[in-house]
Amino acid sequence: MASRVVLLLKTAVFTLTLLFSSNSFAQVTAHNNYLTALSPNAHDRSRLAYNGLPASKISADSAAALNISREHSKLLNYLKELGIPDEERRSNKKFYYHMANVFARLRLYPLAMKCFFKAARSNDRRMDSLYLSARTTGLRKIEVDLPGKNTLIPHYANMEVATDDKASSDFAALELSSLDDSVVSSKAVVLKAESGKKRKIKKSKRTSFPQIMNNFNDGKEAVAYALLFHVKQPAPGKRKIFVGVNTGHTFITLIKYNADSTYASASFGFYPDKDQMLSATPFAPTTSATFKDDAAQLWDEVLGKFISRRNFIKILELTQKFEGMTYNLNKQNCTDFGLQAAGLAGIHITDTFGKWPLGKGNNPAVKGQSILRGRIIPEETIKDGELFLDETVTDGNKLKL
C-alpha cells in the first residue's frame, strides 16, 4: 500500500513539473492560441511568446508542430464554413492531400495546390527545389513579341533554383492567408444559396489570350507556379468516346503564387467556334477556334504539378500559338491543346487515342481512363509525390458538390 502511495506521489510531482515547466506551458498556451487564432498573421512566430519569452526560445520542432495544428484547425474551419463534414483523423500527408482533393472539387484550385504542396513536403524536404524553382535572382527581363502578335510575354534567362534562405520565405508565401479566408467565405455563400436547388451547368464564356495574360500581369514577384490538367469524360469512368452529342472536354488551369501571399489563376480550354451547323463534327471536322473561360467547368479527373517559371511561360506561348489556329476534331482539338500544355509541364499520358465514326484522334474519354489507370510517364512522378492526382471517380466516394 505504501509503495503505491509513493508511486502516485512521484507521478503527481512529475506531471506538475512537466506541466509548469516554461517550455511545456508555453507550448500548451501557444497551441490553444493557434486553435482560435484565424487571422492571416497568426502564423507569425513573433506572436508566440509566454511570460516575455521570444519565439526563439521555443524549439523549432515545437513551433513547427504548433504551426501544423493551426493550419489543420483553419482548414477544418474552412470545411465547417463550406458545410462539408469531415470526421476522419489522418496523418499530416493524408490530411493535406484530402484537403487538396476537397478544394479541387470546389474549383478552388490555388488553395488545392497549396494543400498538395504541404502534403508533398510532409515526407521529404529535398523535394522543395522541384516546387519552388520559380524563384530567380538578378535576372534580366526581356520582352519578346511573338510573330504576328501584339501581346508581350516576359522571358527570363539563367534560371536558378531557390537557395534555402529564399525557399524559407517562399514557403511562407504558400501559407494560408487572408485571401484564402475571403475566397472560402465567398464560396460558402454560393454553396448555401445553391443548397437544395437543382444545379445549372454554367456555359463557359469566350475569352482570349490577352485576357488570360491580364490575369498574371499584376506586377507582383512570383515565388511559384502550378498547372492543373482537367478531363471531363462523356461518361465518367468509362472509355466511351461520345454519349449523344457529348464528347467531353479537356482544359487547364495556370496559377501564379506571389511573394505577398496573393495569387492569380486562369482556367481555360480550346473550343470550336462553329462556322456552320455541322462544324466540329465527323462530317466537317475543321472550323474556327476560340478559347473559353473554364473556371466553373466540371471535370472527372485532374492532374496537378508545380512547375518552373520557364515552363509556365512556355505554356503561355503555346496558348498564344493556338489562338491563331483552326480547330480540328481529329488532330487539333481541346485534348490536343491540353496534352501539349501538360507535356511542357513534364506530364505525359500514354494511350489517349481513339476512333469514332468517320474520325479518330486524342479524346477525353480514353485519356481519362488512362489517368485512372496510372498510365502516366514517368511513373516516379506519382510515387515521389510530385504529381497531384484526383481519383474520386473510381473510389465510390465522389464529393457531391
| Other CB atoms within 10 A of residue 60 CB | 9
What is the spatial distance between Cα 34 and Cα 65, in angstroms, rounded to a whole number? Answer: 11
pLDDT tens column, 64-74 = 555 666 767 77
Q: What is the pLDDT of residue 173?
A: 81
pLDDT tens column, 96-116 = 888 999 999 999 999 999 999
For residue 9, pLDDT over 60 is answered with no
CB-CB contact of 231 with 303 (8 Å): no
CB-CB contact of 298 with 267 (8 Å): no
Q: What is the pLDDT of residue 14?
A: 35
For residue 77, pLDDT over 60 is answered with yes
Span 331-353, mean pLDDT?
95
70-79, 242-251, 255-264, 317-326: which has the minimum mean pLDDT? Answer: 70-79
The answer to pTM > 0.85 is no
pLDDT tens column, 136-183 = 433 333 343 444 444 444 443 333 334 445 555 667 788 888 888 888
Domain ranges of the chain: 2-69, 126-390
Grid-cell match 505504501, residue found = 2
- Model confidence band, residue 392 (pLDDT cutoffs 50, 70, 90): low
Q: What is the pLDDT of residue 192?
A: 79
What would the grid cell of residue 303 be?
492532374
Q: What is the pLDDT of residue 397?
A: 36
Buried b (16+ CB within 10 A) or exposed e, 104-114: bbbbbbbbbbb
For residue 63, pLDDT over 90 is answered with no
pLDDT tens column, 300-323 = 999 999 999 999 999 999 999 999
What is the spatial distance between Cα 72 and Cα 375, in angstroms, rounded to a whole number? Answer: 33
